[in-house]
Amino acid sequence: SIRRQRQMCIRDSHLYRYPHEFSGGQRQRICLSRAISLKPEFVVCDEALSALDVTIQAQILDLLIELQNKYNLSYLFITHDLGVVSKLSDQIAVMYAGQVVETGGTDLILKKPKHPYTKALLQCTPVLGSGENICGGIPGLPPQPGLLPEGCSFSPRCSESLDVCSKQEPNLVQYPERNCRCFLLESVNA
């Protein structure tokens, strides 16, 4: 709509403004404009929506999808917001302590997660109108970089941890439709 286009545009009069004089949404749109001005095929978006209110997030997300379709862009979208992931991604890679713990199609991972960390993340994601309580978080603290525990990095916080988890690091194993790094899944499929 015309109103949306007016809200989204950066005018010539903005050319001499300092960065702090722009709103968060304007700064994000400027960054996107700069990124696509070189006509890339691939754009890395690292927490591109994290500091924006929900209305502006929706506008930027719509813009990202519009640009993706118009210019046939591929995004590597790094985020903690699984709601954004569900709207923008075809494939997901869930990471914990610097390692990929689960990969697969977006719908599959969000509807049928297998790794305990992926499950815990999804349980902490609010679903509007569901009446469900939001969890208080995942128990324990993530490991310090460079001080990873022996075995699986998530095992000290995992409610489904097996004895082997604290002794041996699991491999990223390929299963039908997904990859997963978890002994629990290996024992079920053995």
Render pLDDT for 130-171 as a digit per residue (tens, 0 to 9): 555 556 678 888 998 888 889 999 999 998 999 999 999 999
Contact 122, 66 (CB under 8 A): no
Q: Which of 74-78, 81-85, 129-133 has maximum average pLDDT?
A: 74-78
Listing DSSP states for 4-42 in one string gives: HHHHH---GGGGG--GGGS-HHHHHHHHHHHHHTT--SE
Contact 28, 57 (CB under 8 A): no
pLDDT score of 63 more than 90 = no
DSSP character at residue 94: E
Contact 42, 74 (CB under 8 A): yes
